[in-house]
Each structure stands twice: as C-alpha cells, then as structure tokens.
Chain A
Amino acid sequence: MREKATTLYFGPQHPGITGNMMIRLKVEGDTIIKATTEVGYLHRAFEKLQEKRNWLQSFTMMCRFCVPETDPMEELYARAVEEIEGREVPERAKYIRVMVLELARLASFMLWYGGQNGSLGLYTMGQWSVGDRNYILDLFEELTGGRIYHMYIWPGGVRRDLPKGFEGRVLKTLDYLEKRLDDYDDLMFDNAIFKKRTQGVGIVDKATAVEHGVVGAVLRGCGIKSDIRIDDPYEVYDKLDFIVPTSDGADIWSRALVRRQEARQSIRIIRQVIDTMPGGSVYNKIPNPQKWKLPKGDAYVRAESVRGEVGLYVVSDGGTMPRRVHLRGAAYVHGITLLEDVLVGENIADVSAIMNSLGTCPPEIER
C-alpha cells in the first residue's frame, strides 16, 4: 500500500545537499513530518585500511577524513601517537600547529559562509568567500605543497619549518580577510531577508543539545559555553587569549552569529601565535617508519574543529600498525540523529540551511 505522505529524496544527487548523503523526507504540503538520513555513500573503510598500514602510512589517510577542514585530523593523529609513545613535541612546532589549525578553521569558515548563504539562495556570498578562501589555500600551498591535503602536522612536530617571510604573508592575508569579513557582514548579517529566513528555524535548544551530545558552534548557539580549546586545552591554546562566543537564540541565526565571531577570534589567535612564536627546531625525528613500533596502549584525544568536537581513539597493540583508529566527528552526532529530529516540522525550503548550520559533513560521518 502506498504511504500517505509524499517522499522527497534530498540527495545524494541534489544541489542542496552538503556532500554525498541522503535524507528521505516525508512531507505534507511543505512541512516535513519525518526525516530519515541515509549515509554510506562515502564509506571508504579508512579505519579498516589503517589497520593494514604502518603508523606513518596511516597518517596520510587522516587528512582525507573530512575535506573542508583537514588539519585537525592530522593534529589529532599526531597527538594520539605522541601520547601513546610519550614523544615530546618542540615548543615551536606547537605554535606552528596552532597557526595551521586556525588557518584551517578560517578556511573552513569561509566555506561555511558560502554554503550557508548558498543554501538560502544568496550565491554572491559564496562566490566572494570561496574566492577569498583561495588566499588561505595559497598560504597552505606555500607551507605544505598542497591546497587541500597538507599532511603537515605529523607525529613529533610538523614536517618543515615556516618558509622565510611566511609570517608576514600570513598577516597580510589576515588583514585582507578581516576587511572582507566586514563586507560579508554587510551582505549577510545586515540583510533583512537573511534574518527572516534564519530566525526561529532549526531550533536546537539546551535540552535537545544535552540529549544528543551536541558540540561546537551548535552548542554555543544555544547558550552553553563549551570549547575543547578551553575545556580540555591542547597544544598551546591555554597560553592564548581568546573569547568563546555564545548566543541564546538556538536557531540558525544565532549559530551564524557565533561562527561570525569565531572567525574573527581565529584571526586574533593567529596574530597572537605569530607574535609569541618561539624559535627552535620543529620536529623530533621519528625512527624508520617501516620498523617504527609503538608501545601497547590507547589514547583518546579531542580537538575543536569548525563543526565542533572531533575525537580520535587510537589503540596500539605494540606492533608496527595501529590496532584500531576510530574517529568521532562532530557531524557524526549532528548529521544523523540530531538532523532527523530537528528537521521534523520544518519547511522543505530550510533543509539545506539547517544542514549547513549543523555542520553536516558526510565524509566525516562515513569515514
């Protein structure tokens, strides 16, 4: 027998979906009465493959977990390995890591600016911000050789020191971006229609947030001050001065406000890092990767990405290969159960905006 509600396939081939996943929407009118996510379109079995690679080969897979923001994954892996092995990291490497992480955050915010507005039909924003993102990617290219996959932060430090005059170029880019962020505000946050479209839509209130284990900007967007960089500080974040913005609206608008401030905080952090960066070597040499064995043990490390808390659980059985590498992305909780619950009762027009606002990133879910 035919179902009563109409089925709408939102994805996998759909301009409004972020990445490659599917939401099976049951709609009546333009109201969603049930949403079922279906994932697995991007399941590459990384975790299985990493069990078959040695410790350094596994590292090359890390950045491919989630493409919009690749560096937190590398940093997590490096930190987990260091924790199991007890390897020291030079102070300068930690500062460089923070700089790279924050640059990656900034690049990811740029992409989010584009995605959030593109989902609401303001394509100009996407053109601007994704175009400006290229300047950050240029920096990465100079530093690491790759635009997207950097493989820069590795166990024991970072791969190489900063090129000569790199800090200056970073600061110059930051100056430019700061100016552009004001332009974005004019286009996006001063826009009455954007406000109308986002206020009161996609509400994740405090109770829901706790029930679902919500993290990151979504959690801050409902008024809970939570940031791994402060709560569980890693690298040199405890030495830096920055604000964790929060907002009380619990809707897309307040999440956008949070992210808007976070982008500026990232710029501030990078400036601080460049000011206070010590000298010295940038890595502790690792042994021959083919024979590199880690002691038996496990580690769970966490970092703050744009989407929220990312955790990595690494188990070593004392061999040359990891026993288990298990990533927990922020999208893993946002993209499935939370999305399904939030979408009920919303308008079809807002599905894409809600997905972007929750930071759904399918490759991170499916790994």
Chain B
Amino acid sequence: MDLLTNILGAIATIILAFVVGMSYGGIVRKITARVHNRLGPPWYQNFIDAYKLFGKTTAIHHGWMQIMGPAFLMVSSVVTLMFVPVLNNGGWFTNLNFKGDLIFLLYLMVFGPLGMALGAGQTGNPNSAIGVTRGLSQMVGFEIPWVMALVALMIQFNTTTITGLMDVQQMSGTWLMFSSPFAFIAAVLAMLGMFRYSPFDIVGAPTELASGPVSENGGKFLFTMMSSGSIFSFVKLTLYVDLFMGGADNLIILLIKTFSIYMIPVLYGIVSPRYRTEQAIRFFWGWPLFFGILAILYAAIF
C-alpha cells in the first residue's frame, strides 16, 4: 500500500467512526425517549448539537492544559481507532491494525481519559476534580475483569493480537462468546462500566457534581469531547465485536453487531439508578471478577 491510500483509508475510518458513533448516540437518545413514553429527538440530533457546539464562541479558557485536554482525548480515540481492525478482510479500513496488540490497546485507551482528566483539573472547578477521581477509581474497578477476560482469551488461543483472535474465530467458525463464555460475561460486565451509562455514570452525575469534569467546558471543547467520545465508543464496540463476535465481513454486519452489543449497557442503564463510587468499584470486584477468574481457569484447563 502506498502512503496516499493509507492516509485516505485512515481519514475514511475516522469519518466512519464519527458518523456511526454520533448516530448511535442519537439513536440511544431516541430509544431512551421511547422507554420514557416520549417521542424523543430525531436520530441526527447529536450532529446538530455537535455542529452548534462547534459554532459557539469559546471566549475563555483556564490555561493551556484545558485546551490540550480535549486534544489528548481526540488523539487517544483516533490513534486507538487506527489500531483496531474494523473489518475482517481489511481493505480500506486496515490502517495500522495488522499491528494491533491487545495490551498496547489497553494502555492506549487510557491516554485520552488521563489527558482529559488533566484538562479538567486545570479548570480549577472542584466538581471536575471530584469527577475525575471518581472516574479513575471506577476505571481501576472495571479494568480488572476486563483484563482478566482478555488474558483468558490470550491464554486460550495463545496469541496477544486482535488479528490473531479474529483469525481463530474465522477458522473455527465459532464466536469467542460461545467458545469462551465466561470471558465474554466478564467483558460484558466490564463494558457496563466502560460505557458510563447508568448505573455507572458516576463521573459526570449531573445531580451530584453538575456534570463533573466537563463542567467548565463548553463550545469547541465540548464539541471535541463529544466527537472523540463518539469515536471512542465506536472503537470499543468494534473491539468487542472483533474479540467476541467474530468480527464483521462488511459494514452492514458490523453495524448490526455493534448496535446489538451497544444495547446491553444502554438498556441496563435506562432502568438503573446510579451507584455510589465505592459501590461501583465493589460491583466490579464481585461477580465480574468471579467470572474473570472462571474464565482464566477455563482457559488454563482447556
């Protein structure tokens, strides 16, 4: 592949992730509204919101770290996207994903939140700082079962790359969610925390912290966060599909699979109140951890 194709492919991937992530956000708002007995906004509402935020003046900032915070987040989402295989056979959406490595991805995914946390810290709002501490604490919580699930997969199939795991699924024809069910359960439970829907929306809980880390960010900052958040959720969903649901051969299948897995945290969130921080952490160190250990035992024995 020559450089131009590479760059074009990368840009196409980013646009795809952005569009899909934003649309999913809108559809989630619609679904939530229907559960609420409402009509809800149109599915493209998030695009309008994003464009409006982009058009807003950003008259003030509290220091350069606040400007760099969203940049870190954007960098993290885009770079992570580059390393996640979007489709099974690649093509335009290959990017760097032939080099994708799971542990590498795990750490890359932390880069953005940490930068975001720094940006939120610079604003000097105590609510932001409390939100960040909550977010980081919760992250320690859900990373454990999530990593256990991944380690179980790595052990079971003796590879640490995403492409390796995808190949395993293609060859055997069985999705990993069936061939290593405990890992899947642990990963899905961890995913609840990763997507930060209720009951794990403790970071920016409006009734507690007045939206927490983003409370000082409006306009373009918020736009950047919103769009990189959308890209990030696409990345996470694609990762789940790649790891547990056999990847996707074309975009339609990808959309169906990602959407169906996205509905788990969304639907669980609609009917759940919010956890307190330590309750959330303890939740992840309860059943998810148990399933994680089961998964590792399962992988080690079989």
Question: Residue-by-residue, is A186-220 near B (CB-CB < 8 Å gives 1, otherwise 0)?
Answer: 01000101101100000000000000000000000
Q: Which of B35, B198, B210, B211 has its CB near the most chain A CB atoms (within 10 A)?
A: B210
Q: Say how far B266's CB is from chain A's closest CB, in angstroms.
A: 12
Point out the residue from B38, B202, B275 that lies within 8 Å of A127, measured CB to CB: B38
Contact partners of B198 in chain A: CB under 8 A: 121-123
Contact partners of B211 in chain A: CB under 8 A: 15
At the interface, yes or no: A254 with Cβ under 8 Å from chain B? Answer: no
In contact, A127 and B126 (Cβ under 8 angstroms):
no
In contact, B130 and A30 (Cβ under 8 angstroms):
yes
Point out the residue from A7, A193, A352 that lies within 8 Å of B199, measured CB to CB: A193
In contact, A196 and B209 (Cβ under 8 angstroms):
no
Give A324-352 interface residues, CB cut-off 8 Å to B: 347-352
At the interface, yes or no: B207 with Cβ under 8 Å from chain A? Answer: yes
Q: Is the interface of B mostly helix, strand, loop or mixed?
A: loop
Q: What total of A-B pairs shows CB separation below 8 Å?
A: 81
Beyond A197-B276, A349-B276, whether A119 also contacts B271 by CB under 8 A is no
Contact partners of A30 in chain B: CB under 8 A: 130, 134, 277
- Select from chain B the residue with minimum beta-carbon distance to A198: B273
Q: Say how far A255's CB is from chain B's closest CB, in angstroms.
A: 16
In contact, B207 and A348 (Cβ under 8 angstroms):
no
In contact, B199 and A127 (Cβ under 8 angstroms):
no
In contact, A15 and B273 (Cβ under 8 angstroms):
no
Q: Say how far A9's CB is from chain B's closest CB, in angstroms.
A: 9
Question: Residue-by-residue, is B168-203 near A (CB-CB < 8 Å gives 1, otherwise 0)?
Answer: 000000000000000000000000000000110110
At the interface, yes or no: B127 with Cβ under 8 Å from chain A? Answer: yes
At the interface, yes or no: A128 with Cβ under 8 Å from chain B? Answer: yes
Contact partners of A7 in chain B: CB under 8 A: 126
Give A1-46 interface residues, CB cut-off 8 Å to B: 6-8, 14-16, 30
- Select from chain B the residue with minimum beta-carbon distance to A356: B207
Beyond A121-B199, A122-B198, A131-B37, whether A351 also contacts B273 by CB under 8 A is no
In contact, A193 and B272 (Cβ under 8 angstroms):
yes
- Select from chain B the residue with minimum beta-carbon distance to A115: B207
Q: Say how far B105's CB is from chain A's closest CB, in angstroms.
A: 30
Q: Which of B198, B205, B208 has its CB near the most chain A CB atoms (within 10 A)?
A: B208
At the interface, yes or no: B42 with Cβ under 8 Å from chain A? Answer: no
Q: Is the interface of A mostly helix, strand, loop or mixed?
A: helix
Q: Please, how many angstroms separate the alpha-carbon atoms of A367 and B55 in the complex?
A: 42
At the interface, yes or no: B206 with Cβ under 8 Å from chain A? Answer: yes
Point out the residue from A6, A119, A124 that lies within 8 Å of B207, measured CB to CB: A119
Q: Please, how many angstroms separate the alpha-carbon atoms of A196 and B205 in the complex?
A: 17
At the interface, yes or no: A156 with Cβ under 8 Å from chain B? Answer: no
Q: What's the interface size class on B, roughly?
A: 20 to 34
- Select from chain A the residue with minimum beta-carbon distance to B129: A6
Contact partners of B127 in chain A: CB under 8 A: 8
Beyond A121-B199, A127-B37, A348-B209, whether A191 also contacts B276 by CB under 8 A is no
- Select from chain A the residue with minimum beta-carbon distance to B37: A131
At the interface, yes or no: A120 with Cβ under 8 Å from chain B? Answer: yes
Q: Say how far B185's CB is from chain A's closest CB, in angstroms.
A: 18
Q: Say how far B198's CB is from chain A's closest CB, in angstroms.
A: 5
Q: Please, how many angstroms separate the alpha-carbon atoms of A123 and B207 in the complex?
A: 11
Q: Say how far B128's CB is from chain A's closest CB, in angstroms.
A: 11
Contact partners of B207 in chain A: CB under 8 A: 15-16, 118-121, 352
At the interface, yes or no: B96 with Cβ under 8 Å from chain A? Answer: no
At the interface, yes or no: B68 with Cβ under 8 Å from chain A? Answer: no
- Select from chain B the residue with minimum beta-carbon distance to A350: B276
In contact, A128 and B37 (Cβ under 8 angstroms):
yes
- Select from chain B the residue with minimum beta-carbon distance to A25: B126
At the interface, yes or no: A144 with Cβ under 8 Å from chain B? Answer: no
At the interface, yes or no: B279 with Cβ under 8 Å from chain A? Answer: yes
At the interface, yes or no: A266 with Cβ under 8 Å from chain B? Answer: no
Give A88-134 interface residues, CB cut-off 8 Å to B: 117-124, 127-128, 131
In contact, A349 and B205 (Cβ under 8 angstroms):
yes
Q: Please, how many angstroms separate the alpha-carbon atoms of A194 and B273 in the complex?
A: 6
Point out the residue from A8, A121, A187, A348 that lies within 8 Å of B274, measured CB to CB: A121
At the interface, yes or no: B294 with Cβ under 8 Å from chain A? Answer: no
Q: Say how far B93's CB is from chain A's closest CB, in angstroms.
A: 36
In contact, B208 and A351 (Cβ under 8 angstroms):
yes
At the interface, yes or no: B270 with Cβ under 8 Å from chain A? Answer: yes
Binding site for A on B (CB under 8 A): 32, 35-38, 126-127, 130, 134, 198-199, 201-202, 205-211, 270-277, 279
25 CB < 8 A contacts A-B: A7-B126, A8-B130, A15-B211, A16-B206, A16-B208, A118-B207, A119-B207, A120-B207, A120-B273, A121-B199, A121-B205, A121-B272, A122-B274, A124-B35, A127-B37, A193-B199, A193-B274, A193-B275, A196-B275, A347-B276, A348-B130, A348-B208, A348-B209, A349-B205, A352-B207
